[in-house]
Amino acid sequence: MNYWLLKTEPGDYSYTDLEKDKRTVWDGVGNNQALLFMRSMKKGDQAFVYHTGKEKAIVGIAEVVRGAYPDPNEDDPKLVVVDIKAKNRLQSNVSLASIKADPDFVDFHLVRISRLSAMPVTSKLWKKILAMGGK
């Protein structure tokens, strides 16, 4: 199993929306590096859901229920989507500020390449973020 972080603007689609929907197609990714990461996502992988905008925090956990496939709403084979389902909300949000303040995250893509909307999370950082979020 691999670990990921998926970013969303909560005004467009929030973790609460995912909880209500139970499952969704994660689309709208256009950055080449983020698309490469999405192509590596497999069924059973876990992903943090990160709210951008004013929140700037990891708020919940999702599970990939269908690995990468071509976006059915686009006429471009390089654009891929994954299907995810809500798994657990964190007990407390993990803010970007708290991540940036911790030297263990110095090489984390969220800190280094903030424009990516999909990125890998190492097992070590996954466990640390879980602990920071009360899990």
Task: Tell me the three-class secondary structure of 84-130, residue by residue.
Answer: EEEEEEEEEEEEHHHHHCCHHHCCCHHHHCCCCCEEEECHHHHHHHH
Element (H, E) at 78: none
Q: 127, 47 in Cβ contact below 8 A?
A: no
Domains and CATH numbers, the chain: 3-132 (3.10.590.10)
Rounded CA separation 100/104 (Å): 9
Phi, psi torsion values for 132, nearest 5 degrees? -65, -30
Predicted pLDDT of residue 77:
86
pLDDT at 135: 79
pLDDT tens by residue, the chain, 135 residues: 899 999 999 999 999 999 999 999 999 999 999 999 999 999 999 999 999 999 999 999 999 999 999 999 998 989 999 999 999 999 999 999 999 999 999 999 999 988 899 999 999 999 999 999 997
Question: How many beta carbons lie within 10 A of that of residue 17, not counting itself?
Answer: 13
